[in-house]
Amino acid sequence: MDHLSPLDAAFLDIEDADPHASLAIASVAVVEGPAPTHDEFLALMRARLPVLPRARQKLLRVPLDLGTPGWQDDPAFNLAYHVRRTALPAPGGDAELSALIARVMGQRLDRDRPLWEYWVVEGLAGGRWAIVAKVHHCLVDGVGGTMLYDVMYGDAPAPDPAPEQDASLLSLLGAAVTSPMRTARLVASAVSGLVSLVGSLLPVHASSLFGPLGTARHYRIVRASLAEVKQVAHTFGGTVNDVVLAAVSSAYRAVLLARGERPDPESVRTMVPVSVRGDRRMDNQVSVRLAFLPVEAEHVVDALSVVHQRFAALKKGNEAEAGHAVTELARHEPFAPLSWSIRLGAMLPQRSIVTVTTNVPGPREELRVLGRPIVEILPYVPIAVRIRTGIAVLSYADRLTIGITADYDSNPDVDVLAEALHEAFATLVSAAKARVTPSPPVAASKRRARTARPRTRAARPGAAPR
């Protein structure tokens, strides 16, 4: 029997400890053209399921948590239960789609069945339809979720099988004996990173941005041009992720100011997942970096500079490597105390992390579903353990889409966050264009005329004056 890794199992433990959490991730493919019939879509899913063995398997808990949960074939598997169909009310715009996504994602998946659902959504504006792909986080991380698109709608091969989970220290000791220098370097890097990581878990300044959650959710959509965001990164120096985090910083600053709260430098720490994926397995292969967002910066361009400096320093601090090392070591430790500690920690009122910001590269080429083009993909990230908002960013072809998840009761002003995020991207793009735009030809010629020095030549005998 295949077993979950400790990291995969941790998402189940957190969900068990937080009655208001639904730890499923999702992506929403918006598709051009008429929606297929229910039988047509079922036939597509039935044809693809053989390359996704987890789609027909359900969880099996090990008694007393003596090992991580395992996967077993569901003898009562019924594809029709997992593939559902609904329609939006008119006019079928972003508001109606967002309300549906929030409602679907606020409901937990049934642990007695395979942990996924696909929803075909009719009635989108412009004659479009959508597919909501809902999968529990114990199955995939963000990058693994985008790999599903290449498998389901592209030509990608089946994912790699999961490795066997070794519950002893023998393999770890064997690595230390056979590669002592490499092991020593990994340990030193992990220790250095852990010191930095632990220091990043100090409590933040109190604000309304974090606290107890309910079960209902808001969802909002923000869009940006990937080419323009890349141009901002190129113009000011940095990465696409830096630009995203700068815009997010500006948006949270706007929310704090709108609520009459002070945007202190140590009031908004975000958790940024970092992929450590080395193969095509569909499980979780992710670590994290933790950093304060510069909400104190009045201008988003200034925030971009600070974000770039902070995350460049974090990369040198080995935080992500340390987090990965801890999860790898957990594979060799008894699972029961690890599981109990995760559940206990999830029940305690954490005051260190205010939000999560995840940026996942999606498919680079346009994909099709039953011959119909996917025009955009919207991401969804779950929230739990007093984190009242989460922001997911996904690139697809030349588009960048941002999905905002927010606790319903504590974020009645979620539109302030969405609008401020949109404005932050627009401001960054305008600033980048202003910085690289060449001077108008007329103005340039006038400057040349003012600065040019007159040239004189000695007159030749008999030459006409110029």
DSSP state letters, 412-423:
TTHHHHHHHHHH
Of the listed ranges 78-82, 228-232, 242-246, 269-273, the one predicted with least confidence = 269-273
Residue 439 has φ and ψ, to the nearest 5°, of -65, 150
Considering the entire predicted model, what is its pTM? 0.83
In whole angstroms, give the CA distance from residue 233 to residue 53: 40
Q: How many CB atoms lie within 10 A of CB 206?
A: 12
Q: Residue 444 pLDDT more than 60?
A: no
Least confident span in 84-93, 328-337, 427-436: 328-337
What was the pLDDT predicted at 225? Answer: 96
What are the structure tokens assigned to 90, written together? 């008119």
Quick one: average pLDDT of 86-97? Answer: 97
Of 76, 420, 41, 451, nearest in space to 257 by CA: 420
Q: Are 388 and 410 in contact (CB under 8 A)?
A: yes
**Residue 137 designated active-site:** yes
Partners of residue 379 on adjacent β-strands: 27
Q: Does 345 score more than 80 pLDDT?
A: no
Helical ranges in 18-108 per DSSP H: 38-48, 79-82, 94-105
Q: Are 261 and 442 in contact (CB under 8 A)?
A: no
Cα–Cα distance for residue pair 285/274, rounded to 1 Å: 9
Residues 6 or more apart whose CB falls under 8 angstroms from that of 37 comprise none
Residue 36: how many other CB atoms lie within 10 Å = 18
Q: Which residues contact 260 (CB under 8 A, 6 or more apart)?
A: none
- Radius of gyration (C-alpha) of the chain in whole angstroms: 26
Q: Name the β-bridge partners of 97.
A: none
CA distance 241 to 247: 10
Sequence-separated (6 or more) residues with CB below 8 Å from residue 462: none
Q: What is the DSSP letter of 3?
A: B
What's the mean per-residue pLDDT of the chain? 82
Confidence check: pLDDT of 10 > 70: yes
Whether the CB-CB separation of 323 and 193 falls below 8 Å is answered with yes
pLDDT at 179: 53
Tokens representing 420 are 């401020």
Mean pLDDT of 432-450: 58
Between CA 162 and CA 203, with CA 288 as vertex, the angle to 5 degrees is 140
Looking at residue 65, its pLDDT comes to 73
pLDDT band for position 177 (50/70/90)? very low
The DSSP call for residue 267 is S
Phi-psi region of 64 (alpha: psi -120 to 50; beta: other; left: phi over 0): left
- The dihedral sign for the CA sequence 49, 60, 83, 275: negative
Look at residue 268 and give its three-state secondary structure. Answer: coil
Question: Letter for the amino acid at 88?
Answer: L
Q: What is the DSSP letter of 9?
A: H
| pLDDT at residue 315 is higher than 50 | yes
Locate tokens 């053209």: which residue?
33
- Once rounded to an integer, what is the mean pLDDT over residues 30-55? 92
Residue 206: DSSP 8-state: P
Exposure of 3 in the CB half-sphere (CA atoms within 13 A): 17
Distances from the Cα of 3 to the Cαs of 12, 61, 169, 339, 388, in angstroms?
13, 10, 17, 14, 31
- In this structure, the dihedral spanned by the alpha carbons of residues 387, 389, 390 and 391, taken in order and rounded to 10 degrees, is -150
Q: Choose, from 82, 137, 308, 324, the residue flagged as catalytic.
A: 137
Q: How sure is the predictor about 51, in pLDDT bands with cuts at 50, 70 and 90?
A: confident
User: Nearest to residue 165, comparing CAs of 22, 9, 337?
Assistant: 9
CA angle 213, 29, 223 (to 5 degrees): 70
Token pair recorded at residue 126:
């412009």
Distance CA 215, CA 218 (A): 10
Q: Which residue has the tokens 């079922």?
A: 42
Give me the pLDDT at residue 2, please.
86
Q: Using alpha carbons, select from 275, 420, 224, 255 the residue that is nearest to residue 354.
A: 255
Residues 6+ apart with CB under 8 A from 149: 27, 29, 362, 363, 367, 374, 377
